[in-house]
């Protein structure tokens, strides 16, 4: 009877995965910059609130993506 070795091997991140993450980082930076410009030009209180949420969401996503890239590089 043959037993397979089921130990977890560390999987090397693929080049595609890294490039997808890097392009998503660039896209998120663009969204963040756009939201900041829109926020600075907004006059309506509802729009101001909306842009605050967009900025915060983009910042959190950006931080997550950076952590993910760092994990792949270690």
Counting the structural domains of the chain, the total is 1
Q: pLDDT for 5-40, tens place per residue?
A: 554 555 666 778 899 999 999 999 999 999 999 999
The reply to whether 36 falls in a domain is yes
The reply to whether 4 falls in a domain is no
Show the CA angle centred on residue 60, arms to residues 40 and 42, nearest 5°.
15
Q: Give every CB contact of residue 27 below 8 A, 6+ residues apart in sequence.
A: none
Mean pLDDT of the chain: 88
The reply to whether 68 falls in a domain is yes
The reply to whether 53 falls in a domain is yes
Q: Tokens 């030009």 appear where? A: 41
Domain assignment of residue 45, given as a range: 31-73
Neighbour-count burial for 27-38, b at 16+ CB within 10 Å, e otherwise: ebeebbeebeee
Instruction: Give the predicted TM-score (pTM) of the model.
Output: 0.76
The reply to whether 43 falls in a domain is yes
């Amino acid at each position: 009877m043959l037993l397979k070795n089921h130990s977890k091997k560390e999987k090397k991140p693929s080049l595609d995965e890294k490039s997808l993450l890097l392009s998503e980082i660039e896209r998120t930076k663009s969204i963040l910059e756009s939201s900041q410009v829109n926020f600075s030009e907004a006059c309506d209180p509802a729009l101001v609130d909306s842009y605050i949420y967009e900025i915060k969401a983009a910042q959190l996503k950006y931080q997550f993506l950076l952590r993910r890239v760092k994990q792949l590089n270690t």
